[in-house]
Amino acid sequence: MHRDYYIHPSRLPKNVEGAFYTLGCKSKDGTWWGECLACGAPEDQAPTLLAQWTNECTETYFIRQPETEAEIESACNALEVCCVDALRYGGRDPKILARLNPNLCDNATFISRLKYFFRSRGKK
Ligand code: SF4
């Protein structure tokens, strides 16, 4: 199957197929642990895209990829609230790449970095 997004070696397998994902760690016995701990901030930003916290689910991962402009914005906001960059974008959409901090993107280009730079300067 052709995928037009980067598969990060530490991508948590629970993430649904697609460009937005979260990171995890694999222990020696093959068990995966989500890198994202328990602050709940990303889930607040994208409640329909990320798994909701329950007693059984204490990891952050994408259950659905964004489809609309509003959902893409929610997903980007979820990535940006994490202070350890545990949520990432592996796609190549130029608009999303220009929207997000390049540190969160696997396919950031010189142009997208430049656009992000000027965009973030414009916010100040
Ligand atoms: S800071 Fe980031 S990694 Fe830590 S719990 Fe919050 S969202 Fe998850």
**What are the residue ranges spanned by the domains of the chain?**
20-123
Mean pLDDT of 103-119: 93
Quote the pLDDT of residue 54: 76
pLDDT(124) > 70: no
Give the Å distance between the CA of 57 and the centre of ligand 1: 15
pLDDT(73) > 90: yes
Give the Å distance between the CA of 115 and the centre of ligand 1: 26
Q: Note the pTM of the prediction, 2 decimals.
A: 0.92
pLDDT digits (tens, 9 = 90+) for 7-30: 999 999 999 999 999 999 999 999
Residue minimizing CA distance to atom 7 of ligand 1: 82
3-state secondary structure the chain: CCCCCCCCCCECCCCCCCCEEEEEEECCCCCEEECCCCCCHHHHHCCCCECCCCCCCCCCCECCCCCCHHHHHHHHHHHHHCCCCCEEECCCCHHHHHHCCHHHECCCCHHHHHHHHHHHHHHC
